[in-house]
């Protein structure tokens, strides 16, 4: 067997172990009783150690070197070998002791953070966050040396490989300059119009579920090859032939649950469309969180808040809950679903203000990793940024620096992917509409076929064959930038 084929067998096993770990996380969030936490933690730790051993074993390094020398690979195989090497490099960059120390520190910090957030007291979690931050910086510097990146970029590489802060500075700079003035104009326009009506409930969970399943089927989700369940926070998971998403139903408001379903279905359909010939190989997996988020937002934000889709969906929504009156008119629902209002909490933010939340976090975490900001100054810097970007001042740290789990859990470099995803979604949806004039009209008939035909060919079916920005350039004819996203916002929110 050639060295390359041996690597394929090795990474197929790694893939199966990775899928198993992902399934254990799904079960933990959806099915597991509380008493199972200890055993589940032990199972996940064992799988993590097994993956690390398989990936960092000497034989992996030797096989990669031999495969590079032997050559004779086609382009997909070369891309696959490149992905293998990237993973091996990243895994060997950081010592097992450091990984374990960071995991322990993050668990302790995250636990304390839950109390600190409830008590709105940043100072109580600050010492633990300092430990996490110190270890993250140590890990970032170790990765940076091996990956030939800056420390911050070496962290971001885990979530959005191929994207550097040099690139993000340009894109976020553009967007950060655009948003404050644009937001003011949107707010002014919406204030001059009558407020949208709110459909009245109750919205029984069983009905919400049926409506969600109906929408999922229209989008192409196959319930013989997937599930819809409930969890505290919506997420998507699963493997080929078994795609699982979750949402959360609120009896007083069906929009949150339905948007969760649509968003997660976008994630699931990306996974479903990955290249079948490369299952269980690194090159056959989805790209980073930036592209993944573009696939959920293309559904939730681009397609499903469009007047075309809401025209189609309004009668189905009304029928699902036996509703009546003007609140269920498509025009009202469009206004309701595109309502803009600056708020303190990122996860509740609308499409226009969301990027401001992300830009703030990006600026702050870069400064923290670079040593230009101390944790003592973090809450103040947070509040200054909110004032500058959104014009509002959090009344306490619970509505400010304590709101997101990410940093307390050790995840630095993750936040940019949310807004990179929003930008990518705008660019891809625009390109799809240009490539096939029926994409949007079909969505207006509840038919997502043309959109998914285009996405399948230009995104899903390519796996990790190209880095995310090259994929975007090939698909849309232009590299990642904020222009199309800005145009989309202007058209949707200012009719301009």
In the window 165-204, what residues touch its own copies (CB under 8 A)? Answer: none
Is residue 224 part of the contact set for its own copies (CB under 8 A)? Answer: yes
Closer of 33 and 194 to its own copies (Cβ): 33
Q: Is 123 exposed, middle or buried (0-12, 13-18, 19+ CB in 10 A)?
A: exposed
Is residue 318 part of the contact set for its own copies (CB under 8 A)? Answer: no
Q: Is 153 exposed, middle or buried (0-12, 13-18, 19+ CB in 10 A)?
A: buried
DSSP H or E segment with residue 246: strand 242-247
Contact status, residue 328 vs residue 316, Cβ threshold 8 Å? no
Q: Which residues pair with 237 in a beta bridge?
A: 244
Is residue 218 part of the contact set for its own copies (CB under 8 A)? Answer: no
Is residue 17 part of the contact set for its own copies (CB under 8 A)? Answer: yes
Category of 396 on φ-ψ map: left (φ > 0), alpha (ψ -120 to 50) or beta: beta
As measured in angstroms, the least distance from the Cβ of 280 to its own copies is 7
Among 239, 250, 286, 473, binds its own copies (CB under 8 A): 239
As measured in angstroms, the least distance from the Cβ of 99 to its own copies is 17
Measure the CA–CA gap between 179 and 202, rounded to whole angstroms: 36
In 367-434 the beta strands, taken as DSSP E runs, fall at: none
As measured in angstroms, the least distance from the Cβ of 488 to its own copies is 35
Closer of 237 and 458 to its own copies (Cβ): 237
As measured in angstroms, the least distance from the Cβ of 247 to its own copies is 17
**Part of the chain binding its own copies (CB under 8 A), chosen from 75-83, 98-106, 232-240, 448-456:** 232-240
Is residue 20 part of the contact set for its own copies (CB under 8 A)? Answer: yes
Is residue 491 part of the contact set for its own copies (CB under 8 A)? Answer: no
Measure the CA–CA gap between 235 and 212, rounded to whole angstroms: 15
- Which residues are CB-neighbours of 31 under 8 A, at least 6 positions away? none
Closer of 24 and 255 to its own copies (Cβ): 24
Is residue 37 part of the contact set for its own copies (CB under 8 A)? Answer: yes
Closer of 321 and 452 to its own copies (Cβ): 452
As measured in angstroms, the least distance from the Cβ of 269 to its own copies is 14
Cα 325 vs. chain centroid, distance in angstroms? 36
Closer of 227 and 248 to its own copies (Cβ): 227
264: annotated active-site residue: yes
Task: List phi, psi (to 5°) of 35.
Answer: -60, -15
Task: List phi, psi (to 5°) of 288.
Answer: -70, 180
Q: Is 485 exposed, middle or buried (0-12, 13-18, 19+ CB in 10 A)?
A: buried
As measured in angstroms, the least distance from the Cβ of 103 to its own copies is 16
In the window 364-383, what residues touch its own copies (CB under 8 A)? Answer: none
Residues in the chain: 496
Is residue 27 part of the contact set for its own copies (CB under 8 A)? Answer: yes
**Part of the chain binding its own copies (CB under 8 A), chosen from 21-29, 180-188, 422-430, 487-495:** 21-29
Is residue 205 part of the contact set for its own copies (CB under 8 A)? Answer: no
Is residue 447 part of the contact set for its own copies (CB under 8 A)? Answer: no
Contact status, residue 8 vs residue 60, Cβ threshold 8 Å? no
Among 39, 170, 195, 393, binds its own copies (CB under 8 A): 39
Query: Which residue in 264, 351, 365, 469 is the catalytic one?
Result: 264
Measure the CA–CA gap between 440 and 198, rounded to whole angstroms: 26
Is residue 34 part of the contact set for its own copies (CB under 8 A)? Answer: yes
Among 35, 71, 72, 194, binds its own copies (CB under 8 A): 35
Q: Per-residue string for binding with its own copies, 40-79, x by CB under 8 A?
A: x-xx-xxx-xx-----------------------------
Contact status, residue 136 vs residue 155, Cβ threshold 8 Å? yes
Among 6, 24, 285, 336, binds its own copies (CB under 8 A): 24
As measured in angstroms, the least distance from the Cβ of 219 to its own copies is 16
Interstrand relation of 226-230 and 242-247 (parallel, antiparallel or unpaired): parallel
Among 115, 134, 210, 222, binds its own copies (CB under 8 A): 222
SS3 string, 223-245, reads HHHEEEEECCCCCEEEECCEEEE
Token pair recorded at residue 376: 């003592």
Q: Can you tell me which residue has the tokens 């997502």?
A: 448
Contact status, residue 472 vs residue 427, Cβ threshold 8 Å? yes
Measure the CA–CA gap between 444 and 1, rounded to whole angstroms: 53
Measure the CA–CA gap between 495 and 471, rounded to whole angstroms: 30
Q: Per-residue string for binding with its own copies, 266-305, x by CB under 8 A?
A: --------------x-------------------------
Q: Can you tell me which residue has the tokens 């699902």?
A: 320
As measured in angstroms, the least distance from the Cβ of 23 to its own copies is 7
By CB under 8 A, name the binding residues for its own copies. Answer: 12-13, 16-17, 19-20, 23-24, 27, 31-40, 42-43, 45-47, 49-50, 222-227, 238-242, 280
Catalytic center residues: 264
């Amino acid at each position: 067997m050639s060295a390359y084929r041996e690597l394929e067998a090795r990474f197929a096993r790694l893939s199966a172990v990775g899928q198993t770990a992902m399934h254990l996380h799904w079960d933990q969030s959806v099915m597991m009783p509380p008493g199972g936490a200890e055993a589940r933690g032990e199972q996940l730790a064992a799988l993590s150690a097994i993956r690390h051993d398989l990936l960092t074993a000497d034989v992996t390094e030797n096989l990669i070197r031999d495969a590079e020398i032997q050559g004779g690979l086609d382009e997909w195989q070369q891309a696959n070998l490149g992905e293998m090497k990237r993973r091996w490099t990243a895994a060997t960059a950081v010592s097992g002791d450091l990984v374990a120390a960071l995991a322990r520190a993050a668990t302790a910090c995250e636990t304390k953070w839950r109390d600190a957030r409830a008590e709105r007291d940043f100072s109580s979690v600050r010492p633990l966050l300092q430990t996490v931050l110190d270890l993250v910086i140590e890990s970032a510097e170790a990765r940076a040396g091996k990956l030939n990146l800056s420390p911050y970029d070496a962290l971001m590489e885990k979530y959005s490989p191929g994207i550097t802060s040099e690139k993000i500075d340009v894109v976020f700079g553009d967007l950060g300059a655009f948003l404050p003035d644009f937001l003011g104009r949107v707010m002014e326009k919406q204030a001059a119009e009558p407020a949208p009506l709110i459909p009245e409930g109750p919205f029984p969970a069983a009905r919400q579920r049926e409506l969600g399943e109906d929408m999922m089927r229209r989008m192409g989700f196959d319930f013989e090859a997937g599930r819809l369940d409930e969890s505290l926070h919506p997420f998507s998971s699963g493997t080929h032939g078994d795609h699982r998403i979750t949402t959360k139903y609120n009896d007083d408001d069906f929009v949150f649950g339905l948007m969760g379903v649509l968003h997660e279905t976008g994630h699931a359909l990306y996974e479903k469309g990955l290249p079948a010939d490369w299952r269980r190989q690194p090159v056959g997996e989805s790209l980073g969180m930036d592209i993944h988020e573009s696939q959920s937002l293309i559904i939730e934000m681009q397609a499903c808040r469009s007047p075309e889709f809401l025209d189609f969906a309004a009668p189905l929504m009304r029928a699902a809950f036996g509703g009546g009156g003007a609140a269920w008119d498509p025009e009202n629902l469009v206004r309701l679903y595109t309502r803009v209002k600056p708020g303190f909490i990122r996860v509740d933010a609308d499409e226009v203000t969301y990027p401001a939340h992300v830009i703030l976090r990006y600026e702050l975490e870069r400064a923290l990793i670079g040593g230009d900001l101390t944790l003592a100054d973090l809450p103040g810097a947070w509040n200054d940024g909110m004032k500058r970007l959104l014009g509002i001042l959090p009344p306490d740290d619970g509505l400010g620096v304590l709101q997101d789990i990410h940093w307390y859990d050790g995840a630095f470099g993750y936040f940019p992917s949310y807004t990179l995803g929003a930008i990518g979604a705008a660019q891809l949806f625009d390109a799809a509409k240009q490539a096939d004039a029926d994409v949007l009209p079909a969505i207006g008939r509840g038919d997502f076929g043309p959109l998914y035909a285009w996405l399948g060919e230009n995104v899903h079916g390519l796996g990790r064959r190209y880095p995310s920005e090259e994929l975007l350039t090939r698909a849309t004819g232009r590299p990642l930038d904020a222009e199309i996203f800005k145009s989309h916002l202007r058209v949707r929110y200012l009719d301009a």
